[in-house]
Structure 1
């Protein structure tokens, strides 16, 4: 897959139009080394259809617009991704490793709580119905705390 095809694929994955992509790229005001100017919309379209070679100085800007690493613009196969992560982990700082660990914990939490199949609850009475039936017995501070925590979970799920 050529880089322009990969970029077009990522544009589609991100549900962007080529016009939106072009506008976001131009808004970052990348300067071409050859002219010192920001590429025009027409030039960006030529990059996307493969009739013009993409200038190397645009790669970081394109990656930023698509919210991917520069590496992801060139490849997305499993072997290359694995090698990329191995290289990253070799030189990662403690702060970066902690960030990765935190992200993995969130993913694990998401898989456990957010994506857990509801069918597991559907024995004779759903867990939700059972909890609702017990709410009249809960003290007000517990209900307030429960409401706060459920609101936080809702916001977390909406942000994913």
Structure 2
């Protein structure tokens, strides 16, 4: 998975159009080292289509425009796993972020429940019911 594909995924996940993303990105006043100027809309669309290489100095601005950490642009594990339904990726990331606030007994309950779902899945039941 390429970084431009992850950026497009995050744009879609946040219900932004590419134009809205470009406007938000440009409002942060990014500057290219080579020219000292902001990228043009056509350059931004080139980045998003994969036709142009994304300049490293633009990564912080892209992350800020998407309201994510820079590292999120390079993390492909959960969102793009072919074993998981892509529609769950946002929910899964939100759950992972919230787990730090859960008491130990809740973590144990979640773990036990997920292990039951895993066993059902491995036994051939694709959509187990929760209990």
Please classify the TM superposition score into its range, dividing by the shorter chain length. Answer: 0.5 to 0.7
- Between Structure 1 and Structure 2, the one with more helix by share is 1
Partner residue in 2 for 1:36 = 36
Q: Distance in 2 between matches of 1:15 and 1:103?
A: 25
Partner residue in 2 for 1:65 = 65
Partner residue in 1 for 2:77 = 77
- How high is the TM-score relative to the length of structure 2? 0.60
Partner residue in 1 for 2:93 = none
**How many residues are aligned here?**
85
- How high is the TM-score relative to the length of structure 1? 0.49
Pairwise mapping of residues 120-159 of structure 1 onto structure 2 (< 5 A)? none
Q: Distance in 1 between matches of 2:12 and 2:62?
A: 14
RMSD: 2.0
Structure ID, larger Rg: 1
Off by >2 Å, runs of 4+ in structure 1: 102-105
Q: Which has the higher contact order (CA 8 A, sep 6+)?
A: 2
Q: SS state of the match for residue 8, structure 2? A: helix
Task: Give the CA deviation at 1:12.
Answer: 0.4
Task: Give the CA deviation at 1:104.
Answer: 3.3
Q: Distance in 1 between matches of 2:62 and 2:16?
A: 13
